[in-house]
Amino acid sequence: MHIAKKGLRILGIAESFSGSPESVLAGVVMRKDLRIDGFRFTTATVGGMDATESIVGLYHSFERSDINVLMISGSVISWYNIIDPETIFEKTERPVIVVTYEDSEGLEDDIGRHFPGDLERLGNYRRLGPRTKLDLDTGYTIFLRATGIGTGDAGRLSRQLTFDGKVPEPLRVARLLARTIMQYTGGGR
């Protein structure tokens, strides 16, 4: 993959949830030159274990082969619904960049408190592995997990797509769409 291409297409995925049993996931296909080339929506169960399959389904719902990379806002979404970037990479055959925004000591204690005895969820979280810190040109810091793409390329692409603050543009637009759909529908469906 040549990240220098203007026409590189990124599928940015972000979620929104608020007191509903389902969260809204929005996917925005955005070219590197910032042209929006499509969008779709799906849901994930709040507190569930279906975020990975929801993201894979969202990707396949576009029915197009020109999406070059998936960029996902958060690796633990919808109240501890843990994303598996390796599975997403395997099932889409596209590189995956997961972006998080806060430094933390981890969520193992929180998972244990909210989901006592849930060894599958805890194992999924542990398999995420470490994040790579990335200082942006905007003065902010984000953290990346890159699968199927080198950390250097993932960092360069994230920097090139972040114009204000700390949210890369495909994720910023996806977040706005997810929030708007959540507000409009009053929930996930």
Lowest mean pLDDT among 1-10, 96-105, 113-122: 1-10
Q: Look over the chain and give the mean of its residue pLDDT values, rounded to a whole number.
A: 95
Split into its structural domains, the chain has a count of 1
The answer to whether 29 and 38 have CB atoms below 8 angstroms apart is yes
Q: Give the integer Cα–Cα distance in Å for 119 and 84.
A: 15
The SS3 of residue 93 is coil
Those residues whose C-beta lies under 8 Å from the C-beta of residue 39, and which sit 6 or more positions away, are 26, 27, 28, 29, 174, 177
User: 95 near 72, Cβ under 8 Å?
Assistant: no
Residue 35, number of CB atoms within 10 A of its CB: 11
Q: What range does the domain containing 88 cover?
A: 9-183
Q: What is the model's pLDDT at position 3?
A: 83
In this structure, what CATH number is given to the domain that contains residue 111?
3.30.2170.10
2 occurs within a structural domain: no
Percent of the chain with pLDDT over 90: 90
Residue 95 has pLDDT above 80, yes or no: yes
Quick check: is 29 in a domain? yes
**Structural domain contains residue 189:** no
Alpha helices for the chain (secondary structure H): 51-61, 85-92, 108-114, 119-127, 151-160, 169-185
**In-domain check, residue 188:** no
Residue 14 pLDDT > 90? yes
Give which of 25, 23, 27, 77 is closest to 45, Cα–Cα.
Answer: 23
pTM of the model: 0.95
* pLDDT tens figures, 139-173: 999 999 999 999 999 999 999 999 999 999 999 99
Give me the mean pLDDT over the 57-62 stretch.
99
Residue 188 identity: G
Tokens of 69: 């990379």
Tell me the average pLDDT across 11-32.
96
Q: Give the per-residue pLDDT at 89.
A: 99
The confidence score (pLDDT) of residue 185 equals 86
pLDDT band at residue 94 using 50, 70 and 90 as cut-offs: very high
Residue 4 lies in a domain: no
187: confidence class by pLDDT, cuts 50, 70, 90: low
**Considering the domain boundaries, does residue 90 fall inside one?**
yes
